[in-house]
Amino acid sequence: MSELIHTCYRVLDLERSITFYEELGMTELGRLHIREEAINAYMGFEGDGPRLELTFNIGRKEPYEIGTGYGHIAITVDDLDGVLGKLAAAGIEPEKPPYTVSIDGPRLCFVQDPDGYRVELLEAS
């Protein structure tokens, strides 16, 4: 049986990116040093395994192009306002205030991680 095991992002500042995803409730579950070329940090939620691979290419200084095909990843959070408060303390603001897409739907908003990748934060019900 096949399964989707993770998504990979290339990042310029590994520690800054790890801190961002920790604010969303993820934990660093492991690292893999690839010779003198790169470091992969594996992030995930408690009991779920590594779902996000952050790849830091040693020596790279210029930002990566995200491209027009990338949309976002979505993460559920128990307390959207609390998470947004933590992110605001780190200088990260939502693209627009939380909203719903349907009358009974959960609140959501979008933020960008330190490298500009969009992340949808969806309040768990």
Catalytic residue ranges: 120
Contact between 57 and 103 under an 8 Å Cβ cutoff? The reply is: no
CA distance 11 to 13: 6
Measured on CA atoms in the order 71, 51, 44, 39, is the torsion positive or negative? negative
**Contact assessment for residue 46 and residue 40, using Cβ atoms and an 8 Å cutoff:** no
For the CA atoms of 94, 106, 50, 114, what is the dihedral angle to 10 degrees? 0
Residue 101: burial class (beta carbons within 10 Å; 0-12, 13-18, 19+): exposed
DSSP state of 16: H
